[in-house]
Amino acid sequence: MGLFEVLSPLTDFAAMIAGYFVEIWDFLIFIGQVSSVIIVLVGAILWLTETNAKRGKGLVFSGILLAVVVQYFVIYPPSFGLV
């Protein structure tokens, strides 16, 4: 009985957990992308209709900042693989 036979179930479990982390990460990226678009749209509506221009400008710039941060994490995702 070698060392690899004993560690095989642990390695499989770690790979399964890493797979779940990847799925969760993809879902969070999707939520971030959708949220940034919605925030920019709501801010643009408030800004351009002059209902609350100051709040609208803040929402537009916050949505753009959120989109930039999400895009950074799309380009440079964390590695969930086994070391």
Amino acid 78: pLDDT: 86
What are the two backbone dihedrals, phi and then psi, of residue 50, each rounded to the nearest 5 degrees?
55, 30
* Integer Cα distance of 81 and 22 in angstroms: 9
pTM of the full structure: 0.78
Amino acid 73: pLDDT: 95
Tell me how crowded residue 33 is: count the other CB atoms within 10 A of its CB: 15
Ordered per-residue pLDDT tens for the chain, 83 residues? 455 555 677 788 888 888 899 999 999 999 999 999 999 999 999 999 999 999 999 999 999 999 999 999 999 988 876 55
Quickly tell me which residue has 């890493």 as its tokens.
18
Q: What is the DSSP letter of 50?
A: T
